[in-house]
Copies of this chain bind each other. A is one copy, B any other.
Amino acid sequence: MADLTTNTDVLRTAGAVPVGENVDGLGTEAARRRADRRWLGLELLDVADAGPAAAGDSAASLTTRAEVTMEERHLTQLQRMYGGMGLALVGALVEETAARPLRWATTQFVGSPRHGERLDLVAEVLAAGRRTSQVRVTGTVAGRVVLTGLGAAAEANPEIPGGTLPVMPAFPPPEECEPVRLRFPPSTPPGFFGLVEIRQPAGAAEPRLRFWMRFGGRPATRPAMLALVADSVPTMVMGALGNPGSGSSLDNTIRVGSAPDSEWVLVDGIPDQAADGYGHGSVRLWSPDGSLAGVGSQTAALWFHRRG
């Protein structure tokens, strides 16, 4: 966890290459993925042929096993696994299994791993084409399924022109914003949010639909790490409708775009709807230079904050 002190913004300003990928040489994608995994605490165990291959596709039986023990950084203030962390772990494992950049991943939350529990993950490559790998992930604690994931990782296709349709909203840069003090109950550790810094313009209005966020140590714009700054939709839906509350994620989904490395990401919330007690919406995730690093979305079972 020594790389928590790395600040890639400072390094970029100085014209240097971000560090944290200094194991296999600077800047190789494999080394960058390894640095992501190390930050996430995701330990690879083995890659194996899991059984009889499906007809005509040897990739269909390729599996990768990994594990992660739930520490403070994996948890919410409620000391259960943070949803964005669950999706980040799935995304990192999809990338590693495919050895290709993550393009999309979804995680379904079935249970809630707690502090000290070991989450065992198995990734199966369901198809591996010339460019694209489709992967399925199952996560268990003591043999019981607590999450499932789906994702695709794929090589770039240089023939298709890139472009972004929405424009980054006008918003002061993080240097001109003020830290938002996150309130934690004094009796419990803050979990992942103890690592998080959030900034907004002075006097910003509630509800908090747009803010800068970083967790330090890795660029939040990395494909697998984006999920860590994308899990705020339930609070946005409740807040935008004037209700103090949040929700329990049924899923977290990330669609990866393209952005230079940045610790800071502008979280640009688009709460859509609450219906029958279930809320959904999305967040656009902008890097400071105006690039769209990706879009997160989710559906959640909504709940009110207890009134004190």
A contact set with B: CB distance below 8 Å: 54-57, 60, 101, 103-104, 106, 108-111, 126-127, 131-132, 134, 136, 142-145, 148, 150-152, 154, 156-166, 237, 240-241, 243, 245, 250-251, 253, 255-258, 270-282, 284, 292, 295, 297, 299, 301-304
Contacts and interface: CB of A to CB of B under 8 A. Distances in A.
A152 B299 contact: yes
Name the prevailing secondary structure of the A interface residues: strand
Given A110-B127, A258-B276, A152 B54 contact: no
A255 B104 contact: no
Nearest to A297: B297
Question: Which has the most chain B C-beta neighbours within 10 Å: A56, A109, A241?
Answer: A241
B302 A273 contact: no
A296 to B, nearest CB: 11
B301 A132 contact: yes
B154 A301 contact: yes
Contacts of A152: 108, 250-251, 299
A13 B106 CA distance: 40
A145 B161 contact: no
A50 B240 CA distance: 43
Nearest to A209: B165
A55 B272 contact: no
Given A55-B144, A57-B144, A144-B55, A274 B161 contact: yes
A258 B272 contact: no
Given A144-B60, A251-B104, A253-B297, A278 B154 contact: yes
Nearest to A299: B104
Nearest to A104: B299
B256 A275 contact: yes
A160 B302 contact: yes
A270 B148 CA distance: 28
Contacts of A279: 160
